[in-house]
Amino acid sequence: MRSLLTCAAAAVRRVEWQRMQLRPLGELAVSSYGLGTWTWGHETNEDAAREQLRCFLDAGGTLVDTAAVYADGDAERILGRLLTLVPRDAVVVSTKAGVTANGVDTTAEALLAQLDASLRRLGTDYVDLWQLHAWSDATPLLASVEALRVARDSGRARAVGVCNYTPSQIDEAFAVAERIGTPISGVQLQYSLLVRAAEAVMDRAREYGAGVLAWSPLASGVLTGKYQRGVPSGTRGTDPRYSAFIAPFLSAPEVPVAIEILDLVAGALGRSCTEVALAWARDRPGVAGVLLGARDTTQLRTQLDSVDLDLPAEVADLLTSSVLPIG
């Protein structure tokens, strides 16, 4: 393993601030990294969000992902105010509907009402990508997909997608969408070195001509290595809003070994665990982009350092085969 990594390290060339690629996401073209806004409106205030957006756009980023439910709409409000500072076509705006503070409601009426509220908060008359945030057994799928059709046909959404669907749900959604003439462009899923259950769905998405957006590519920060020796104070592991997402990783016996392997690879390449984990997820087959989540610009810059990292195929394969996922 060490000789392989030594050869790989010699093959990696770091280019100062290389701009990220644009990739197809169904009917859209999006940057290979997206800027997530889950923290906007609570952890990240508007000034910090402005700095993040400026840093992201400077690196060649275009895709900014939000949702109606984030910070009870404040994430969209902040993004809407920031959109007035840049040309509208400089940002590919992605938002989601169907999840509320009271649960999941994917009836067509509720979805379209959420979309219109999102447009008001964003200060725009269209979004580039509008997604169903979650599956619901309580609503016939045809009704939910019909809302996607109405949004796209009315011009309120340039393209549409779904989030967090299982393989069978993906098949159902694409079949219904095809039947009513509404192409699904994007599928948003949790995906990282430690969580790979989405790969079955990724195969289906490729078959249907859609792209995958990977959320939590750093496994709630665990793949940065910062939890290797416990939960540091001031991290999300101590925050009740996030600790439930992190807890499964901290208790899984596979994770310490995975971090050791990742740390070894990163050291051989002269890069950080963060950079290697992001580059691995970004370049997996079917992934159109990975969604970055950062509390501040310092964290974001650390993540964007991976833009220029092209993992040699043998190193990517080594990580894939050596790191055991927990999901």
Instruction: Indicate which CATH number applies to the domain containing 63.
Output: 3.20.20.100
Residue 22, beta-bridge partner list: 31
Structural domain boundaries enclosing 121: 19-251+273-310
Has residue 16 got a pLDDT over 80? no
The per-residue pLDDT for range 295-314, each reduced to its tens digit, is 999 999 999 999 999 999 99
pLDDT above 70 covers a percentage of the chain that reads 90
- Contacts (Cβ under 8 Å, ≥6 apart) of 166: 135, 201
Sign, Cα dihedral of 114, 120, 124, 125:
positive
| pLDDT range class, residue 17, cuts 50, 70, 90 | very low
For residue 170, the surrounding DSSP H or E stretch is: helix 167-179
Count of other CB atoms within 10 angstroms of residue 321: 8
Q: Is residue 8 part of a domain?
A: no
Q: What's this model's pTM, rounded to 2 decimal places?
A: 0.92
The per-residue pLDDT for range 21-57, each reduced to its tens digit, is 999 999 999 999 999 999 999 999 999 999 999 999 9
Q: Is residue 170 part of a domain?
A: yes
Has residue 14 got a pLDDT over 90? no
- Greater confidence, 234 or 92? 92
Q: Is residue 318 part of a domain?
A: no
Nearest to 27 by CA among 117, 159, 206: 159
- Contacts (Cβ under 8 Å, ≥6 apart) of 105: 98, 111, 136, 139
Domains in the chain: how many in total?
Answer: 1
Query: Which structure tokens are listed for 189?
Result: 């899923």
Query: Which structure tokens are listed for 165?
Result: 């669907």
Q: Is residue 224 part of a domain?
A: yes
Give the pLDDT score at 156: 98
The per-residue pLDDT for range 219-265, each reduced to its tens digit, is 999 999 887 766 655 566 556 666 677 878 888 899 999 999 999 99
Q: Is residue 148 part of a domain?
A: yes
- 234 phi-psi bin (left φ>0, alpha ψ -120 to 50, beta other): left
| pLDDT range class, residue 11, cuts 50, 70, 90 | very low
Q: Is residue 317 part of a domain?
A: no
For residue 7, the surrounding DSSP H or E stretch is: helix 2-11
Q: Is residue 62 part of a domain?
A: yes
Query: Which structure tokens are listed for 209?
Result: 């001509």
Q: Is residue 111 part of a domain?
A: yes
